[in-house]
Amino acid sequence: MGAGTVGSAAVLRIGEAAEQAGVSCRTLRYYEELGLVVPAGHSAGGARRYTDADVARLQRIRELQELLGFDLGEIRTIMRSEDQLAALRSEYQAGGDVARRKEILAEAMQINARLRAMVKAKRDRLDAMLEDLGARAKRNRVRARDLEAEEAGRPAS
């Protein structure tokens, strides 16, 4: 199983983390090179160690890539934005004066608006593609009816 702890969290070796996240060790290392994932720690020998939170982050990256079709550059932007939102949430929950909490909320709303715009742009591109595929399917159905009519010796529509 895991190979120790980081703080109080159980840790996984790279192969275990990769397997749980459904990626290869090579992919996990590549994500690290891109700054998408940072191991929670390293063993005395320098081997990477990952927590359950790291595995959840890897799964989020894969979801953004596979389900939503974002490229790694877009994913980096999304992950950084989500990290900023988490930091803002922690600061807000820690209290502070009303003016600072208002600033935090304003900043969080701006980040959220940028993320929503990214997702909407992706959805708009997908909707356009879906519409194009529907139009092609309709043209093909018309052509198929025309061929059936031609084969039967009837005039085409």
**Domain shared by 56 and 94, yes or no:** no
**Residue range 48-77: mean pLDDT, rounded:** 94
pLDDT band with cut points at 50, 70 and 90 for residue 2 = very low
Structural domains counted in the chain? 2
**Domain shared by 11 and 77, yes or no:** no
**Domain shared by 78 and 56, yes or no:** no
Average pLDDT, the chain: 91
Domain final residue pick, 21, 45, 67 = 67
Instruction: Retrieve residue 140's tokens.
Output: 């093909």
CA atoms within 13 A of residue 24's CA, in its CB half-sphere: 3
**Domain shared by 37 and 99, yes or no:** no
**Domain shared by 2 and 47, yes or no:** yes
74 pLDDT higher than 90: yes
Question: Domain range for residue 87?
Answer: 70-157
Q: Which of 6-15, 26-35, 48-57 has the lowest mean pLDDT?
A: 6-15
Q: Which of 50, 79, 51, 48 is nearest to 63 (CA)?
A: 79
User: For the segment 91-146, what is each residue's pLDDT rounded down to a tens digit?
Assistant: 999 988 999 999 999 999 999 999 999 999 999 999 999 999 999 999 999 999 99
**Domain shared by 62 and 88, yes or no:** no
